[in-house]
Structure 1
Amino acid sequence: MTRWAPEKSDTLAALATEILHNYSRGRVLVAVDGPDRVAASGFADDVAAAVEGADHVAGRSTADGLGDDAFRSQVAAPFRAADGDALLVVDHALTGRTGLSGAWNYAVWVVGDFVADRSPEERGRANAVIDASDPEHPRRLFDDAC
């Protein structure tokens, strides 16, 4: 059976469209994480570029190496205090960070080559789950527990 393999640009455009449909105004924080930290970081770069490609201001940051309080004071608070509509995509933002759960407007869980539990707590908090095991053909997974 042939595996569905959408083009990377199509997956990213659809995700950017969804995020901007819901959060086009204000200062928006988007979390990106997953068991494969390299895949998640690269996908976060791609999401930010896709949002910019949709004519919206986007930036990139990381929560790696920052505790929850440091992230709030050094990254989230200054970003939210600035003027204008903008979206900040933050990698390494979910794993082990239950204290930041309320900080995110939108969260993406990226599954790369790393084979992991299909239902970790962080994945369950994500709005979108992306299978990036084929980096040129990432695809959205709809595997919620409804």
Structure 2
Amino acid sequence: MTTAEPVTIFDSLVGEITQHYHRGRVLVAIDGADGQATHGFAESLAAAMRSRSWYVLRLGMTPGAASDIPVATLPHPDKYRADEDYSHLRAIVAKFRESKLAVDPSVPEVPADAMLIVDGRFLLRPELRGIWHFGVWLEGDMHLRDESLEAQVQYTRDSAPRAAADAIFDVTNAASPARVWADTC
């Protein structure tokens, strides 16, 4: 792949998202087992959205990930439990939707046309699917620790995030993500 191809991939994804959600406050989830891959993909998508003059906020669910939004407590990224508490994430989303998520003193309110891109694991679980306008599933070759691998297997088996995603990308080569078309027609 040439270096221009990833840019084309993100431009195409931006076009797809904005075709369906061209106005309003849009919520996008980037889900996958590899925290570095989800973070890098979300950052590239945010850059592509900003190049189209969108106001974009970022929230990384992986501990230590850079985020535009102060985060107090989020679920443990290596465990998948049905009783996981996502109330803090839901509160952030509610504030974003209501334009009350002030993260920049120069912008006291979230503009009417804005995007919140959240990356992390287990975001396309059934309990959270209804809050996203657009979901991306990232897959690829990665080595996970036993506990993390067990959680990922349980998540993909029980929650079918691949089937819930609006777009699927293979990030085996993170520098050149490839769109996976998994149409059933």
TM-score w.r.t. the length of structure 2 is: 0.68
Q: Does 2:118 correspond to 1:90?
A: yes
Alignment RMSD (CA, Å) = 2.6
Q: Do 1:32 and 1:107's aligned partners in 2 also have CA atoms closer than 8 Å?
A: yes
Alignment correspondent of 2:161? 122
Per-residue CA deviation, residues 21-42 of structure 1 (Å, 9 max, x unaligned), is 1112111100001122221121
- Distance in 2 between residues matched to 1:11 and 1:102, nearest whole Å: 26
Residues matched between the structures, number: 142
Q: What is the one-letter code of the residue matched to 2:38?
A: A
- Distance in 2 between residues matched to 1:53 and 1:129, nearest whole Å: 22
- Distance in 2 between residues matched to 1:143 and 1:6, nearest whole Å: 24
Alignment of 1:34-113 (within 5 A): 34-64=32-62, 65-66=74-75, 67-73=85-91, 75-82=92-99, 83-92=111-120, 94-95=122-123, 97-113=125-141
- Distance in 1 between residues matched to 2:124 and 2:138, nearest whole Å: 15
Q: 2:180 aligns with which of 127, 141, 146?
A: 141
With over 3 angstroms needed to count, the CA separation of the structure-2 counterparts of 1:96 and 1:85, relative to structure 1, is closer
Per-residue CA deviation, residues 27-67 of structure 1 (Å, 9 max, x unaligned), is 11000011222211211111111111122221101345243
Which ranges in structure 2 are unaligned for 5 or more consecutive residues?
63-73, 76-84, 100-110, 144-151
- Distance in 2 between residues matched to 1:22 and 1:133, nearest whole Å: 28
Alignment correspondent of 2:19? 21
Which ranges in structure 1 are unaligned for 5 or more consecutive residues?
none
Q: Do 1:6 and 1:137's aligned partners in 2 also have CA atoms closer than 8 Å?
A: no
TM-score w.r.t. the length of structure 1 is: 0.84
Q: For 1:107, what is the secondary structure of its paired residue?
A: strand
- Distance in 1 between residues matched to 2:56 and 2:121, nearest whole Å: 17
Structure 1 ranges of 4+ moved more than 6 A: none
